[in-house]
Structure formats: C-alpha cells, structure tokens
Amino acid sequence: MKNLFIFNGLLRKKAVDILVSGSTIVSVTPHGEVPAPEDAEIIDATGLIVFPSFYDCHVHLREPGFEYKEDIESGLEAAAHGGFGGVMAMANTKPTNDSASVTEAMLQRAQQTWPNGPYLYPIGAATIGLKGEELAPMGELAEAGCVAISNDGVPVGGAEMFRHCMEYAATFGLTIIDHCEDPTLAKDCHMNEGEISEAIGVKGQPVVAESMQVARDILLAEFLNLPVHLAHISCKQSVDLIRWAKARGVKVTAETCPHYLLLTEKILNNYSTAAKVNPPLRSEEDRLAMKEAIKDGTIDIFVTDHAPHADHEKEHPIEGAPNGISGLDSAVALTWTQVEDGTISEDDFIKLWAEKPAAIFKLPLNTFAEGDIADFFLFDPKEEWKLTEDAMHSKGKNTPFLNTTLKGRVKAHWLGGTRIV
Amino acid sequence: MPQEKHFIWPHKDLLDVSQLSLEEVSHLLDTAEQFHEINQRPVKKVPTLKGKSVVLFFAEPSTRTKTSFDVAGKRLSADTFSLSSSSSSLTKGESLKDTALTLEAMNPDVIVLRHKANGAAQFIAERLDCAVVNAGDGCHAHPTQALLDNFTLRRAWNNEYKGKTILILGDIKHSRVARSNINLLTRQGVKVRLCAPRTLLPHTVHTWPVEIFQDLNKAMEGVDAVMCLRLQLERQQSGLLPDLSEYARMYCLTANHMDMAVEGAKILHPGPMNRGLEIASDLADCKNSRVLNQVSAGVATRMAILYLHATRKDKGV
C-alpha cells in the first residue's frame, strides 16, 4: 500500500508531519524535520487540526426495522463525514437487538457497506424486547459482538430488575448504559416541566424524573460495586449527584449531548418539534450546569444520541411528534463551540470524544504513537458552513440547528490508513 | 353590521389572546356589541358573510363552542360545514396536516379548530392560507372563551377592569380557559387570584402574575367576580384527587363563600357545569350568575371573530 504523508497539521497545538504506512502510523515528527518520502501521497494540512477518529457511543441507526428513517449504510456515512470512526448503536430496533442473530445481521450489513469503517459497535438490549421483564441473553450478545448493554428508549423502571441487569451484564464484562428516567414521573411528557410547558399547556417532564433514577443507579452501583454508565444527562441535579458519587469512588461514568449544552426549553415555546428530544431540553440553569460538568470532568464523554426521523413523523403537533435530533453530521462543530468559548481545552475535547469513550467501552484508540492504527481526521476549526439538508449525510434531517451556520468542519478522514472522506 | 371604519384587522389567525393588543381586544368587543344587538332582534340574520364558508373542525368533543360558532356563522349568512374527528379521515390514520390541507383545497375562508394537541391551531395556521381560529387546543389556549368572558365582565363592570379582582377556581393546571383569561385580564389591570388544591396548580404557578390560594374562604375575600372551572372527573382516577366528595367539600363554590365577596359579585362558568361538585346548584341559577350571559356573549363574540377574520383580506373593516 502507498505511504501517506500529512504535513504541517496541528496535533495538540504542535505543527507536525505524520507518516502512515499501510494501516499504521510510522512516525509523527515536528513539521519540516523529515522530508516527505518520494513515493508517498502528500496531504497539505496547513491550518488544520489532526484529531484521532472520534467515537459516538450513543446512536440510533434504525436498522433493522426503520430503514426509512436511517439505515446502517447512511448512518455510517454520516458518521464518516462527522469525524466518527466508530459508533455504538442502541438496541431499540425492530426486531430488538436482544439476540445474536440481530447483532450478527447488523455487523454484516456494516461490513458490507463500509468495510473500511466507520465501525459499528452494537449495544445489546438489557431485557427481552426492552420490556423490562426478562433478562436478555447478554452472554450470547457479547459473543456476537455487542460491546455494552442498554434498554435505552424504554428505561428499566423496576429497581430490582435493573440490579439484575447490572449484575448479569457484569458477568460478561459488559458495561450497562442506563437511560435515566423514572417512567411514572415521565409518563406522557413532551418537554421539560417548567414555566414554558405550563404556559403553553404541554405536559412537562420534571428534572427529578431523571435525577431520581440517576440517584438509584448510583446507589446500586455503589452497593454492588459495579460500573454503570448514565446516558444523555441533561440537568443540574443529575450532575450534582454524579459529582458526589465520583467523590465517593462509585464506578459511575456519564455522557451528555451537544443540544444540552447549547439549547434550552425556550426553543419549544413555539412547539418546535425539531427540538423535541428525550430527556427534554431543560432550563438555562441546567444548561450552565452541564457546561460546568464537562469542564470539571463530571461528565466523561460527549455523545450525539443521534435519533433520525422522517420529515413526516416530526411534522405533527408536539404531542404526536417523536423525540430525537439527528446529530452525527453536526456534533463535532456544535461541541467545538465549547472550545471556542473557553469552557474546555482542545485536550479535553479529545478526551470527551475519543480517549474516555475508548477507555469506558474498551475500544481501540489512536494515540499517534508509532505502530498505532492510522485512524484520524483533519478538522478546519475556522471554516464556517451552513447545516442544510443537502449538507447532511444522515437520512434524518430533524435538527433544530438546520440552516444555521456552524464553525469547524471535518475536511478529510482516514481509518486504518484508508481515506473514507 | 359594524359601522366603524378604518380599522384594519391585522391578524390572519386567532390563536391566542396573547397575540392581541388591548386596543384590538377593545375593537373586537365593540364589534361584538353590535352583533349582540342584532341577536336581540326578531330577525337575527344579516348578509355580512354571504358567500363565505366556515369549516368547523372539532377533533375533540364539544357542544356549546361548536354550536356557538355554528350559530354565529349562520347569523352572518356564512355557509358553515362541520367535521368531527370521528367523521374525518383522522380515524383512518390521516395526519392533522393532510386533513387540514384537504380542507383548504375546498377553499374555506375560516377554519375553526378544536384539537386535543397543544399548538394544533398554530400548526395548521402555519401551513394554510385561510384564517384559522383556535377553538381550544389541549391545555394551551381558548381565546374565544376568554374574549366572551371578557365581553361578559365588561358589561358587568361597565367597561372598568382596572382595580377589579377575579378569582379563578378549580383545575387551573389543565385549563386552557384559565391560561387565556389570566393573560388577558392581567394585562387589563385586573387582579387575578387562583384557588385550587396543589395537585391542580402548575408547578411554576408562582411565576405567574397572580395570587395563589388554597383556602377558598380567604380567596373569596373582596373579589368582584369568581370564575369556576369544570372539574374533569377523570382527575380522580389519575391520582390528582383523593375523592370527589372531598373536592366538593373544600372547593365547591357555595352561597357562604359569596358572602366573602363584594356585594353583587358575579359568577362565571365556561360550562358544562358539574352542579354540586364545583358550583352549588343554587348559585349557578342566582341573579348574580352570568353563566347564560356568557352563552349569549359567546355567539356575539364569535360573530365578531368570524367577521373580522373572514373579511380581513377584503379591505379593512
């Protein structure tokens, strides 16, 4: 395979030249120190940042069962252009990913459509059919290729059942990801409970619907001395609890999404179904608490909770519209705002999108050391671009950021030394 | 027919009272006064909206609002067409958008919509060229009810709102009537009080420009009017109330409560009433009750609303 020479890229703020041979990194040297090999493909990365490929540990690729919203091929295409070398897909497909046959079919489809990556890492269901009644065959799921377990979308309400899920998942070394939501407090809710929901008459979900379950999961994790990963955290009360738990040494990790850092419930004042998401967009106080939590490490990772829907499904009054934002195409630019506004450093950005996801879910990581897998992308932090439907690679165009101008764009992406974008 | 000239109604749709300035409300109610006079005549029909069509699309059960709009349209000589969710393609899975587009393809001048979904009227108004009048959407807004209540109070208070106090009693949390009335009355300088058990008040009600009471006796002290709201009986099944007899004991408006109010304080109720549950039967029929006046006001106010919206494109009214 031809060598690849990327010159004058910014790697952790240092100008470097990167030599790739085949699928691995041969050397990373200060810019200009070594000449480009004669036979190499040469890429000028002047002004561009070199990032290791990111992981999105929380996506919904809709296949099998809902291919009209998204399929594995289109979802991975959006991932490739979004800077993601690997995505972890939730199990709320149809049929549910609660058996090896479904996991294997998903992996086969990913291999057929994107043989060089981005890579699909399936997440198995915690309970059969996500019903919260019987444990899913987690051993079989792990053998088939699932990297974690979750009932995301339909939270396990019963504490005893969730305890069993945690214990059984740990049997196979799988981390459980919980969608923290008390089903009784969240029943029939369509946005955050607060002044806006009460002014416009929509039944709102109180923050305690999330934080009560966060508290439950933390207490169970401590009691069982087992890890738990808390999905799409959205509110101050939850991060306060997670901070307290980490200080006690509880094995808890947590994630949040770009929209909880950038938007509040105010956007729903006009019944904007594009911004209808679960957990719902919260208050300004909650948004600021989320920023603080990414800054101090209480939140471990960024995820998109990529939830594509067809246009006709979102085009309903708010009660009839499904939850979800299509996120893979825009997430890196949206979260780059947190570096731009000084909330986090560029190093933290890499931690939140690459290093900690890899550590929590035991995924491969490119550290740019000699011999590492050549998974990386070039990012122009200054390019401004409009997030139009045409610019999105996901089938789902459902995002409240549609037609807004974003700053920062993925310019090229290699996985295992093969250029995919 | 209204005689006032040079007032161009600026709104395509009527979605909530919050979109109306107080001057526009005043103009609308002045217009309603003229229609109210017509409604007292032996021959109540005028040709004002002859050739105009009004679709009454009630996707949620309603008797009095739908009939009120129907009468209002017919008295103005408009052709009114009724559609309910059970008789529409909504039962066949058609979306609200497609049903609305289908209706518009028949070129009505006004669509009056009642729907259980919050924001449903706004949803179709954004997609249609014809006027859309919100006849109640979920727990959000009921502007025509608030306007007819306002018409009733204006008459009872001789057009003086400022400094008056009104108590809204009952299930505030789920009431679109309360929300629209609170918006309009507080802007007019009326002091609004709310009284209900905590389970029937919104969590953030303390941020509303109102006074909150749990004790009905205290809430009634010095009020100029009290507006009872209908209690939906399923609130008990949904765990918001222990039992209906306890609710009646604590929150049913009785003659004793009226003793705490100013003399001659008026009683309103948007109906239908649960007599003995939210209002004592004798109070519903007493001389200070304005319940039936509200019904009459409803026809006049809705005539004004249809008139202003159906003729808006013609050239000002």
**B97 close contact with A: CB closer than 8 A:** yes
Minimal C-alpha gap between B75 and chain A (Å):
33
Residues 358-387 of A with CB under 8 A from B: none
Distance CA B14, CA B9 (A): 11
**A315 close contact with B: CB closer than 8 A:** yes
Nearest CA in chain A to B127: A315
Instruction: Express each pLDDT in B285-314 by its tens digit.
Output: 999 999 999 999 999 999 999 999 999 865
- Contact check, Cβ <8 Å, B138/A206: no
Minimal C-alpha gap between A271 and chain B (Å):
6
Residue A374 has pLDDT above 80, yes or no: yes
- Contact check, Cβ <8 Å, B203/A193: yes
Instruction: Express each pLDDT in A127-150 by its tens digit.
Output: 999 999 999 999 999 999 999 999
Which candidate from B118, B205, B207 shows the least CB-CB separation from A202? Answer: B118
B12 is in an annotated binding site: no
From first CA to last CA, the distance across chain A in angstroms is: 18
Distances (CA, A) of B180 to B144, B167, B279: 9, 14, 21
**A187 close contact with B: CB closer than 8 A:** no
Instruction: Express each pLDDT in B252-265 by its tens digit.
Output: 999 999 999 999 99
Average pLDDT, chain A: 97
**B122 close contact with A: CB closer than 8 A:** yes
A12 is in an annotated binding site: no
- Contact check, Cβ <8 Å, B117/A312: no
pLDDT confidence bin for A234, thresholds 50/70/90: very high
Residue A418 has pLDDT above 60, yes or no: yes
Specify whether A300 is catalytic. Answer: no
B249 is in an annotated binding site: no
Instruction: Express each pLDDT in A102-119 by its tens digit.
Output: 999 999 999 999 999 999
- Contact check, Cβ <8 Å, B141/A194: no
Which candidate from A198, A204, A271 shows the least CB-CB separation from B119? Answer: A271
Distance CA B13, CA B17 (A): 11
Catalytic residue among A217, A300, A305, A375: A305
Minimal C-alpha gap between B198 and chain A (Å):
14
pLDDT score at A69 = 98
Residue B205 has pLDDT above 90, yes or no: yes
Minimal C-alpha gap between B119 and chain A (Å):
6
Which candidate from A204, A271, A319 shows the least CB-CB separation from B122? Answer: A271
pLDDT confidence bin for B171, thresholds 50/70/90: very high
**B36 close contact with A: CB closer than 8 A:** no
In DSSP notation, chain B reads -----S-----S-B--GGGS-HHHHHHHHHHHHHHHHHTTSSS----TTTT-EEEEEESS--SHHHHHHHHHHHHTT-EEEEEEGGGSGGGGT--HHHHHHHHHTT--SEEEEEESSTTHHHHHHTT-SSEEEEEEETTTB-HHHHHHHHHHHHHHTTT--TT-EEEEES--TT-HHHHHHHHHHHHTT-EEEEE--GGGS-TTGGGSSSEEES-HHHHHTT-SEEEE-PPPTHHHHTTS-S-HHHHHHHH-B-HHHHTTSPTT-EEE--S---BTTTB-HHHHTSTTB-HHHHHHHHHHHHHHHHHHHHSHHHH--
The residue with greater pLDDT, B239 or A349, is A349
Minimal C-alpha gap between A202 and chain B (Å):
6
pLDDT score at B240 = 86
pLDDT score at B314 = 56
Query: B123: which chain A residues are within 8 Å (Cβ-Cβ)?
Result: 271, 316-317
Nearest-5° Cα angle at B212, B211 to B216 = 115
Residues 199-238 of A with CB under 8 A from B: 199-204, 206
Q: Please give the interface size between A and B, counted as residue pairs whose CB atoms are below 8 Å apart.
A: 60
B65 is in an annotated binding site: yes
**B132 close contact with A: CB closer than 8 A:** no
Secondary element (H or E) of residue A407: strand A405-415
- Contact check, Cβ <8 Å, B203/A198: yes
**What percent of chain B is modeled with pLDDT above 70?**
94
Q: What are phi and psi of B302, to 5 degrees?
A: -75, -30
With CA atoms as reference, report the closest residue to A335 among A346, A326, A324. A346
Q: Are A378 and A410 within 8 A, CB to CB?
A: yes
**B138 close contact with A: CB closer than 8 A:** yes
Query: B179: which chain A residues are within 8 Å (Cβ-Cβ)?
Result: 199, 201
- Contact check, Cβ <8 Å, A271/B123: yes
Q: Which two tokens stand for residue A10?
A: 């910014």
**B96 close contact with A: CB closer than 8 A:** yes
Minimal C-alpha gap between B276 and chain A (Å):
27
- Contact check, Cβ <8 Å, A317/B140: no
- Contact check, Cβ <8 Å, B203/A200: no
Average pLDDT over residues B207-230: 96
- Contact check, Cβ <8 Å, B118/A318: yes
Residue A54 has pLDDT above 90, yes or no: yes
- Contact check, Cβ <8 Å, A317/B119: yes
**A184 close contact with B: CB closer than 8 A:** no
Minimal C-alpha gap between B314 and chain A (Å):
29
B275 is in an annotated binding site: no
A164 is in an annotated binding site: no
pLDDT score at B91 = 57
Residue B315 has pLDDT above 50, yes or no: no
A312 is in an annotated binding site: no
Average pLDDT over residues A249-271: 97
pLDDT score at B183 = 97
pTM, 2 dp: 0.89
- Contact check, Cβ <8 Å, B122/A198: no
Highest mean pLDDT: which of A278-292, B1-15, B84-98?
A278-292
Residue B229 has pLDDT above 90, yes or no: yes
Which candidate from B96, B117, B204 shows the least CB-CB separation from A195? Answer: B204
Q: Which residues contact A418 (CB under 8 A, 6 or more apart)?
A: A23, A116, A117
- Contact check, Cβ <8 Å, B204/A194: yes
